[in-house]
Structure 1
């Protein structure tokens, strides 16, 4: 900026007359409004493309050890992390097992035989938090009817805080992994 131009700007500022380079407050407001509308539009479009929160959740693994101190393996469930998720709407949550639910016990025959592995159960949970159906969806390690039966018998009696969608209780599917390790 030349000294003459700076002098003209300084003189205009002191005299109270607008400079030829000053910007109207209305233009600044219009610019800020346009930026705000652009940001909100991008957020809205991103929310439309983001996948919906899945109807099933995986809870933290339950460990069925030969010596279970307490059936508290599921006190605080957490959903499994499978990458970035769309934030849940206010009032939405997955079904959560209640603290008093028992952990599956290691079947004595499977324990004696040294059978180990993980079993994942899929539980249909109704809007009242009751398990209406339970099935085994996968195994890791040795497959054992004893382990499957122990998981289904125990998890089938579990109670849940029901899932919420838009603040209303809804039926959902919950997957619960159970680990059987002998600790040798």
Structure 2
């Protein structure tokens, strides 16, 4: 079974992107360690805007997971998450 999100915080929308009306979706790849923390993260699919991509990658480092399990024991595993940046109103 793969890692399951336990807690997550939303990324901080970069003010420069917000002012410019930039939206997008970043897919972040990450390695979830056996203790449920993110040990590495990278842009798997870019939003087309580096500020949004950087905010997405930074945010996932604070996320916590129930680690993946193999034969009942926690194991490190890679997974992807999609982070959408949309302006409201």
How does the TM-score come out when normalised to structure 2? 0.90
TM-score, normalising length: structure 1: 0.46
Structure with more contact order per residue of length (Cα contacts < 8 Å, sep ≥ 6): 2
Q: Which residue matches 1:33?
A: none
Residue 74 of structure 2 corresponds to residue 169 of structure 1: yes
Aligned to 2:46: 139
Q: What number of residue pairs does the alignment pair up? A: 89
| Uncovered stretches (5+) of structure 1, i.e. residues with no partner | 1-92
SS at match of 1:102: coil
Q: CA deviation at 1:171?
A: 0.6
Pairs within 5 Å for 1:149-168: 149-168=54-73
Higher helix share: 1
Q: For 2:46 and 2:88, locate their aligned partners in 1 and report how far apart those are by CA, in whole Å.
A: 19
| Runs of 4+ in structure 1 over 6 Å off | none
Q: Among residues 15, 20, 34, which one is paired with 1:127 in the alignment?
A: 34
Superposition RMSD on alpha carbons, in Å?
Answer: 1.3
- Structure whose residues are more often strand by fraction: 2
Alpha-carbon deviation of 1:105? 2.1
Match for residue 180 of structure 1?
Answer: 85
Q: 2:23 aligns with which of 113, 116, 130?
A: 116
